[in-house]
Amino acid sequence: MCTVAFGVSAQVAFAQESKTVKTENKVATATAVKAKASKPALSETESLRKELDLVKKQIAQLKKTDTQLKATDQVNQAGVIVTAAEVLKTEAEVAASKRTLKSGQSLVRLGDSNVFFGMGGRVKLDVAHYPKSGPNPKTSGNYLDPKTIGLDGSDLANNKNNTDMTAQNSRVNFYSLAETAHGDLESRVTFDFLGAQNSGHSFNSTPSTNYGLRARSIYVDYCGFRLGQDDTNFFTGDFAGYSFDNYGVNVPLRRPQVRYTHELTKGLNASVSIEKPNSDYVTRHLAFSGNNTFGKSTTPDATLRLRYDHDLGFVSLSGIYRRISVDVPTGSTVPGSAAVPVLGGATTREKFTSHKNGFGGALMGSVKVYGDMVRLFGYVIAGQGISNLVMDGGTSAYLQYTLTTDVVGAGVEDAASISNLARWKNDLGLVKVLSGSVGVEFKFNENWKFVTSGIMTTLKYPSNAAVSKSLTDQLNKNVNRVFANVVYSPSKQLDLVLEVMHAQRKTLKGKIHVDGAAGDIAYSGTKGKATQITASAVYKFNY
C-alpha cells in the first residue's frame, strides 16, 4: 500500500512539476516573443521617418528643378517670341518690298521709294509652212493675213510649199506702280518686233531679219482713268490668246485714247472712251487719187462698254460712234491723165465737203460649260463705217466718188476708159461689216489643251461704189477662216504649239464700163485661199 501511494504521489508531483515547467516555458517564450516583436516596431518607425525625410528632400529638389525649368522655359519662350517677331518682321519687309498687279505681274520696290517696277514678256519662235499661197511680204510680212491672200491665178497664189521662220512676235513688257495718297498710279509699256524692217523686201525675196521694234501698249492708269495707247474699248482682246497666230481670233486695233472705267456693282464695270479716229480715206479710183490727202475726221471716236465678269466667264456689250468726213478745199488740184480726155491735164477741183455718221455694236463673251475643262467663246460685230476696226474687215471704212447711175452689184469702173464724168459724183459711201466667231477650248489637264474656232466676215459696199479694175482685188466681199491648235505646256512658262489655219477670201463682183461698148461688161469677182501650218515655242518670263 505504502509503495502504491508513494508511486501515485510521485506521479502527481512529477505531473505538477511538468506543468509548472511548461508554464514557465510558456511565459519565457511569450516574454521572448514580446521582446523580439518590440524591437522591429521601433526600427520600422525610424526607417519610415528616414524615408519621409528623403521624400521631403526629393520634393524640395523637384521644386528647385521646377523653378529652374520654369526659368529656362521662360527664356526659351522669350527666344521663340523674339524669333517669331523677327520672322514676321522679315515677312512684312518682304511683303512691303513687293506688289502684284491684277494681271498677276509681280513688281519689286525700288530702294526706299514708293515706286515698284517689273518686267515680263515672251520669246516666241514660229516655224510656218504654206502648202499653197502664203503671206504677202508687201502687206503682211512673215504672217498670213487672210484679207490679202493671193487670188487664183496670181503669182502669190501659185507660190506653193513655202516654209518660213520668225521670232518677230516676241514681246517685252515693262510695268511700274507708284503709291500715292489718292491710289496707285500704274503704267505699262509693251513692245514687239513687228515694226518696219531695216531693209525692204518684195515678193519672192528674203525678208530681212533685222526686226524693227514696235510699241503696242503705252498707258498709265490712275483713279479709273487710262491715258495712252491700248486696245480699243470697242471690243475686248480676251480672245487673242486662243490662237497663237499673229492675227489671232480677232485682235483689237490699238489706238491712242482717254478711257474711264467705273465699277457699277461687283463684277459689272462700265467704261467710256474717246479714241483716235483712224478714218482712213481711200479714193478707189486712179483718176481722183490726188484727193486722198483731204480725208479727215472732225471728232474722235466715242465708245461705251458694259462688261460683267463671273467665275464662269464674262460677257461684254459695247458700241461705237464715229464722224467720218472728207474736205476738199477750193482750188485744190488733182493730176491729169492722158487716158481721161475730159481731164486733159491738171484740173482744179471744186470745193467738196461731206460728212457721214459711222456706228457699230459688239457682243462678246465666254462661258465654262464643263468645269474648267470646256469653255465656249464667241462674238458678233456689226456696223457701218467701222470695218477698219475689224481684223478681217480691211483697211478702209468708206469709199468716195460713187456713180450717178446704179449698176447691178457694186459698180466697177476702169479709170483708163472714162469718157463721161457726168457718171461720177462726189459722195461718201460707208462700208458695212458683219463679223462673227464661235469657238471651243478643251483643257484636259494642266499640260494639254485643244482649241478650235471659225471666223466669218462679210463686207457690203455702196451699190454704186466707184472702183477701178486694178483695185478690185482690195475689195473683199467675204473673208472666212478656221483654225485648230493643240498646246502642250511642260511648265507654266513654256508652251509648245501646233496650229493649222485655213483661210479664203472672195472679192467684189461688178461691171466695167468700156468706151465704145454697147453696155457695161460684167466683171466676176475672184477668190483665193491659203493654209498655214505653224509650230511654235513660247517661253514666258516674269521678273
Residue 348: give its domain's CATH number: 2.40.160
The pLDDT of residue 90 is: 65
Q: What sign does the dihedral 48-51-55-57 (CA atoms) show?
A: positive
The pLDDT of residue 55 is: 76
Residue 314 lies inside a defined structural domain of this protein: yes
3-state helix, strand, coil in the chain (%, to 5): 25, 45, 30
Residue 175 lies inside a defined structural domain of this protein: no
The pLDDT of residue 115 is: 94
Distance, in Å, from the CA atom of 115 to the CA atom of 97, rounded to the nearest integer, reads 10
End-to-end CA distance of the chain: 145
pTM, entire model:
0.73
Please say whether the beta carbons of 107 and 99 come within 8 A: yes
Residue 496 lies inside a defined structural domain of this protein: yes
Q: What is the pLDDT along the chain (543 residues), one digit of tens a residue?
A: 444 443 434 444 444 545 554 545 554 454 544 444 445 555 677 777 777 778 778 788 888 877 777 777 766 666 667 666 666 666 666 667 888 888 888 899 998 899 999 999 999 999 999 998 777 655 555 678 888 888 888 888 888 888 888 898 899 999 999 999 999 999 999 999 887 664 444 334 455 567 788 899 999 999 999 999 999 999 887 877 778 776 666 667 889 999 999 999 999 999 999 999 866 555 444 444 444 445 566 789 999 999 999 999 999 999 999 988 776 665 545 444 433 333 344 444 556 677 889 999 999 999 999 888 999 999 999 999 888 888 888 766 766 554 444 433 344 444 444 444 444 555 677 888 999 999 999 999 999 999 999 999 998 876 555 454 445 566 788 999 999 999 999 999 999 999 999 999 998 765 554 444 455 555 566 889 999 999 999 999 987
The pLDDT of residue 103 is: 80
Please say whether the beta carbons of 405 and 332 come within 8 A: no
The pLDDT of residue 287 is: 43
Grid cell in block for residue 379: 462674238
Distance, in Å, from the CA atom of 305 to the CA atom of 267, rounded to the nearest integer, reads 14
> How many domains does the structure of the chain reveal?
2
Burial class (CB in 10 A: 0-12, 13-18, 19+), 112: exposed
Q: DSSP string covering 86-108, please? A: HHHHHHHHHHHTEEE-TTS-EEE
Does residue 85 sit in the same domain as residue 226? no
Residue 179 lies inside a defined structural domain of this protein: no
Pairing of strands 432-443, 424-430: unpaired
Final residue of a structural domain among 72, 96, 120 = 96
Residue 82 lies inside a defined structural domain of this protein: yes
Distance, in Å, from the CA atom of 477 to the CA atom of 507, rounded to the nearest integer, reads 5
Final residue of a structural domain among 96, 120, 151 = 96
Distance, in Å, from the CA atom of 300 to the CA atom of 257, rounded to the nearest integer, reads 9
Does residue 383 sit in the same domain as residue 529? yes
Does residue 375 sit in the same domain as residue 520? yes
Please say whether the beta carbons of 322 and 361 come within 8 A: no
Pairing of strands 510-512, 410-411: parallel
Does residue 255 sit in the same domain as residue 400? yes
Does residue 91 sit in the same domain as residue 226? no
The pLDDT of residue 344 is: 40
Dihedral over alpha carbons 28, 30, 36, 42 (to 10 degrees) = -130
Please say whether the beta carbons of 118 and 543 come within 8 A: yes
Distance, in Å, from the CA atom of 34 to the CA atom of 32, rounded to the nearest integer, reads 5
Residue 143 lies inside a defined structural domain of this protein: no
Name the amino acid, one letter, at 444. F
Contact residues for 107 (Cβ-Cβ < 8 A; gap 6+): 98, 99, 100, 101, 116, 117, 118, 175, 176, 177
Grid cell in block for residue 315: 460677257
Does residue 229 sit in the same domain as residue 86? no
The pLDDT of residue 502 is: 93
Residue 170 lies inside a defined structural domain of this protein: no
Residue 172 lies inside a defined structural domain of this protein: no
The pLDDT of residue 14 is: 42
Distance, in Å, from the CA atom of 407 to the CA atom of 405, rounded to the nearest integer, reads 6
Distance, in Å, from the CA atom of 325 to the CA atom of 313, rounded to the nearest integer, reads 39
Q: How far is CA 475 from the centre of its chain?
A: 33
Final residue of a structural domain among 96, 127, 151 = 96
Residue 19: give the domain boundaries: 1-96
Provide the total of helices (H) and of strands (E) in the chain, helices listed first.
1, 27
Please say whether the beta carbons of 169 and 159 come within 8 A: no
Three-state DSSP class for residue 201: coil
Residue whose cell numbers read 492708269: 221
Q: How far is CA 152 from the centre of its chain?
A: 37
Name the amino acid, one letter, at 86. E
Please say whether the beta carbons of 390 and 454 come within 8 A: no
Does residue 506 sit in the same domain as residue 372? yes
